[in-house]
Amino acid sequence: MSATRSIYMDHAATTPCDPRVVEAMLPYFTEKFGNPGSRNHRFGWEAEEAVDEAREKVAALLGADPKEIIFTSGSTEGNNLAIKGAASIYERAPAGSAGRGHIITATHEHKATLDPCKRLQKEGFDVTFLEPPRDGVITAEMVRGAMREDTILVSIMWANNEIGTINEVPEIGALCHDRGVIFHTDATQWAGKMPTDVEEAKVDLLTLSGHKLYGPKGVGALYVRRRKPRVRLQAMIDGGGQERGFRSGTLNVTGIVGLGKACEIAAAEMGADGARLLALRRRLEQGVTSRLEVTQVNGHAERRLPHIANISFGFVEGESLMMAVKEIACSSGSACTSASLEPSYVLKALGVGDELAHSSLRLSLGRWTTEADVDFAVEKIVTSVLKLRELSPLYDMYKEGIDLSKVEWAHH
């Protein structure tokens, strides 16, 4: 049996650890194993020093002060702490209302933002879920239109994890600062890939995660602004008072060292990496769309992360497509819920129909993706889609020029 090739194009789900990150982490498992909370011996000091150094590296990636960085277990925790933590500090009822304040987010945010917002809704906050336009970009104008007297918090991601679209974050930041509203951005897919300056973008709270930027899993950071304004948060985890009381628990020193190293590498290499990835993504998208009709690239044509391509293929069935391209490790436009395959809610929010959402692929490239990988993927996708379409009576009808929207289907 010939070995089947398998190429990884799911870097938006997780990235491999950079070997330089692993190397930096190793001593902190064994000889440098101290608890940074141990204040009276060398082991503790050594660990504390390593955490301080990592904090500086994370801060440098964001244009922040090291004191503004809180280490977390990743972006799910970071978003929860930012959103729920800010809501419970800044809650305010408008005159004559029983509400606790108004929050703005968008329907195509990650679940790690949507679910905390939904919980707050149940607890008496009013939440506006902005509906994105077809191109997926949330603009400052949309946020401005939703702002109210009692708006306390806006949470809009910097870039979307399924389609890679880039929201108008600096413009939304400026608007929020003008109105005295706290602004959180989930930068999980953005940070380490694109230049980030929390001052310029007027972001108050920013979430990032190690395993999306070639660092380890289970570690992340939350940026919490300390000046103009000094942002306060209600802690979610109480205990020993680590991380200035924002997040108790013995620090994950190895993970934090890895995250710091990953941020340092990202800061140095993102320019070259980004340019290379953009060229590869274009090669991939053009390779596929130039050879296949009834195919669409989802999301804004330009305002998109360099490494994420999301493509829908008409006249193929989603599960068959995933099976046919199984040598490519990527994500489909379907999400498994307990009982069924649901079309991606992100693509649906953009107005992509259920059928087309199911037959979509998210291909996300990374630091070690090569041109040969891309060419392999293009060939595999094109030949698979052509083959599947040969079996599609609908595609035959389409080819014959029958307007499928006018066909009256028999219902059973």
Ligand X SMILES: Cc1ncc(COP(=O)(O)O)c(C=O)c1O
Site of interaction with ligand X (CB under 6 A): 74-76, 110, 112, 157, 161, 186, 188-189, 209, 220
Nearer to ligand X, 76 or 242 (CB): 76
Nearer to ligand X, 213 or 324 (CB): 213
Three-state SS letters, 116-128: HHHHHHHCCCEEE
Distance CA 363, CA 375 (A): 13
| Minimum CB–partner distance for residue 24 and ligand X (Å) | 20
| Minimum CB–partner distance for residue 113 and ligand X (Å) | 7
**H helices then E strands: how many in the chain?**
12, 15
| Minimum CB–partner distance for residue 157 and ligand X (Å) | 6
Nearer to ligand X, 188 or 312 (CB): 188
| Minimum CB–partner distance for residue 91 and ligand X (Å) | 24
Nearer to ligand X, 222 or 322 (CB): 222
Asked if 176 is an active-site residue, the reply is no
Distance from chain centroid for Cα 362: 13
Q: Exactly one of 17, 117, 263, 336 is catalytic; name it.
A: 336
| Minimum CB–partner distance for residue 191 and ligand X (Å) | 10
Q: At what angle do helices 253-289 and 371-390 cross, to 10 degrees?
A: 50
Of all residues in the shown chain, the one whose CB is closest to ligand X is 74
Q: At what angle do helices 42-62 and 253-289 cross, to 10 degrees?
A: 30
The total of other beta-carbon atoms located within 10 Å of residue 29's CB is 11
Nearer to ligand X, 220 or 343 (CB): 220
Give one DSSP letter per residue of 341-370, joined into a string.
EEEPHHHHHTT--HHHHHTEEEEE--TT--
**Exposure letters 331-344 (e unless 16+ CB within 10 A, then b):** bbbbbeeeeeeebb
Give one DSSP letter per residue of 81-142, joined into a string.
HHHHHHHHHH--PPTT-----EEEEETTS-HHHHHHHHHHHHTT-EEEEEPP-TT-PPPHHH
Rounded to the nearest 5 percent, the helix, strand and coil shares of the chain are: 40, 15, 40
Peptide bond between residue 343 and the one before it cis (omega within 30 degrees of 0): no
Nearer to ligand X, 189 or 298 (CB): 189
| Minimum CB–partner distance for residue 399 and ligand X (Å) | 38
Active-site positions read: 336
